[in-house]
């Protein structure tokens, strides 16, 4: 720096500065395009992941609802069973002329229990099926969430590349993006299965 406060660069420093500036401008353009593509892909992955999570929650809610209905049926089964046992006790204590009427009620309760058990078993099976479907859909959702993490890491590394001009960071961003795309493809395969 001179006494007047003006700093003059040597000619070779000027040439090096211009060469580096042009080089970074080209790299920055690639980084900008790369980042824009990753942001768009990240939006798609995020949408698909959100859609899958809605499906997961829908099936999980259905499983809980079916389980609650099954519990109601089992409670009803227990109440009918208690009535049947009371009728059996009444039959044992009743005079002979009342026993045929009581036996008819016992048979009615036995028939009701069979129907109630069938409904409860069907609701239990539906609950299990909905729960399994929820679990099946949650696996690709987890893959999509991991994919999105790697895409966001790639975007962050690309941003740092634009600031620092370090090519190796851009390589790391590309690698992270490839891992993210691979996880997304695997998640799509799981979702389609």
Residue 117 lies in a domain: yes
Residue 26 lies in a domain: no
Structural domain including 130 reads: 37-192
Q: How big is the chain, counted in residues?
A: 193
For residue 164, how many C-alpha atoms fall within 13 Å in the half-sphere facing its CB? 11
Residue 9 lies in a domain: no
> Is residue 28 within 8 Å of 160, Cβ to Cβ?
no
Q: Which two tokens stand for residue 32?
A: 């900008």
**Tens of pLDDT along 18-43?**
545 545 678 888 898 999 999 999 99
What is the rounded distance in angstroms from the CA atom of residue 102 to the CA atom of residue 111? 14
What is the rounded distance in angstroms from the CA atom of residue 193 to the CA atom of residue 140? 10
Residue 7 has what pLDDT?
A: 61
Residue 15 lies in a domain: no
Residue 14 lies in a domain: no
CB atoms within 10 A of CB 7: 7
C-alpha angle with apex 125: 120 to 130, nearest 5 degrees? 125
Residue 161 lies in a domain: yes
Residue 24 lies in a domain: no
pLDDT class for 16, splitting at 50, 70, 90? very low
Residue 169 lies in a domain: yes
**Tens of pLDDT along 69-121?**
999 999 999 999 999 999 999 988 888 888 888 999 999 999 999 999 999 99
Number of domains in the chain: 1
pTM of the predicted structure, to 2 decimals: 0.68
């Amino acid at each position: 720096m001179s006494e007047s406060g003006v700093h003059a660069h040597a000619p070779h420093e000027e040439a090096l500065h211009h060469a580096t500036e042009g080089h970074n401008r080209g790299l920055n353009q690639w980084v900008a395009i790369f980042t824009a593509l990753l942001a768009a892909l990240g939006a798609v992955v995020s949408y698909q992941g959100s859609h899958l999570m809605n499906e997961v929650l829908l099936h999980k809610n259905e499983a809980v609802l079916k389980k609650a209905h099954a519990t109601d049926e089992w409670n009803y089964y227990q109440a009918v069973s208690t009535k049947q046992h009371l009728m059996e006790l009444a039959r044992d204590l009743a005079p002979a002329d009342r026993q045929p009427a009581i036996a008819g009620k016992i048979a009615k309760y036995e028939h009701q229990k069979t129907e109630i058990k069938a409904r409860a078993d069907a609701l239990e099976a539906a609950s299990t099926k909905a729960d399994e479907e929820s679990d099946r859909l949650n696996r690709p959702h987890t893959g999509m969430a991991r994919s999105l993490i790697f895409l966001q890491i790639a975007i962050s590394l690309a941003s740092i590349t634009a600031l620092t001009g370090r090519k190796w960071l851009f390589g790391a961003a590309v690698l992270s993006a490839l891992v993210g795309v691979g996880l997304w493809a695997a998640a799509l395969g799981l979702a389609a299965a």
